[in-house]
């Protein structure tokens, strides 16, 4: 039996928001960048932060969230959010207004304005379920959607996810360095860096293909 047989991958909806945010907080517990960012911020503060900045965006019409639940318990153990290309899901007048009024996290030291250009807007697996292939499953699922639409996918990948994304077709084009070392030697500057990765769709059609 495949180890993924005990799990199911389906679309998430607004009623999953609290579980998604809880999952993010727990998954980032030992992340090198978030560790120094949050430092002494307790669980509730972390939850509120992600709730405020992620939940509204994740539920907008150009984004679909996918979750993986454990069949035996019904527990959500992993999720990801995928922003679809604007050509497939054009911005409605309502979404334009909503997006233009979102705080782009400009006040935070680690996320300068413009950093959130990723189409994969978060991929998180509960710590005790990591390294079982769930993150790769979500990524393969999103890759097949991107291929279907002949769309590129961007992601800002932390030290735990770089290997996974690169193994599944993403390539590095830049790096975001939050300079964790400024906080002291207990922070690993290399691990705190986020690599900016892009994946070209499979069988990408070029201008030449159309001219034939």
89 versus 116: smaller Cβ distance to ligand COA: 116
Q: What is the nearest approach in angstroms of ligand COA to the Cβ of residue 163?
A: 3
Tokens of 150: 């002949």
Q: How far is the CB of 153 from ligand COA (least distance, A)?
A: 12
Q: What whole-number distance in Å separates Cα of residue 13 and Cα of residue 205?
A: 33
Angstrom distances, CA of residue 205 to CA of 170, 200, 209 = 18, 11, 6
CB atoms within 10 A of CB 55: 17
Nearer to ligand COA, 115 or 150 (CB): 115
Nearest to 154 by CA among 196, 193, 194, 122: 196
Comparison of 98 and 191: residue with beta carbon closer to ligand COA: 191
Question: CA gyration radius for the chain?
Answer: 18
Residue 26: Cβ within 10 Å count = 17
Residue with nearest beta carbon to ligand COA? 135
In the complex with ligand COA, the residue whose CB is nearer, 17 or 136, is 136
* CB nearer to ligand COA: pick between 155 and 180: 155
Under the rule (CB under 6 A), what is the footprint of ligand COA?
27-28, 31, 123-125, 130-136, 155, 157-158, 160-161, 163-164
Residues 6+ apart with CB under 8 A from 208: none
Q: Which of 82, 77, 31 is nearest to 60 (CA)?
A: 82
Closest contact distance (angstroms) between CB of 131 and ligand COA is 4
The minimum distance between CB 24 and ligand COA, in angstroms, equals 8
Q: How far is the CB of 119 from ligand COA (least distance, A)?
A: 12
Question: Euclidean distance between the first and final Cα of the chain, in Å?
Answer: 46
């Amino acid at each position: 039996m495949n180890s993924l047989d005990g799990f199911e991958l389906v679309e998430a909806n607004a009623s999953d928001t609290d579980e998604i945010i809880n999952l993010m907080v727990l998954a980032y517990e030992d992340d090198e960048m978030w560790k120094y960012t949050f430092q002494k911020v307790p669980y509730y503060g972390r939850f509120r932060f992600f709730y405020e900045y992620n939940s509204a965006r994740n539920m907008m019409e150009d984004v679909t969230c996918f979750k993986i639940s454990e069949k035996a318990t019904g527990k959500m153990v992993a999720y990801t959010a995928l922003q679809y290309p604007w050509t497939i899901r054009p911005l409605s007048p309502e979404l334009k207004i909503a997006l233009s009024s979102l705080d782009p996290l400009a006040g935070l030291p680690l996320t300068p304005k413009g950093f959130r250009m990723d189409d994969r807007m978060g991929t998180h697996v509960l710590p005790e379920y990591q390294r079982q292939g769930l993150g790769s499953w979500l990524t393969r699922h999103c890759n097949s959607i991107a291929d279907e639409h002949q769309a590129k996918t961007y992601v800002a990948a932390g030290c735990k996810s770089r290997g996974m994304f690169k193994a599944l077709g993403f390539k590095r084009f830049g790096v975001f360095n939050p300079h964790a070392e400024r906080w002291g030697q207990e922070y690993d500057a290399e691990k705190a860096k986020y690599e900016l990765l892009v994946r070209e769709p499979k069988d990408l059609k070029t201008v030449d293909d159309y001219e034939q």
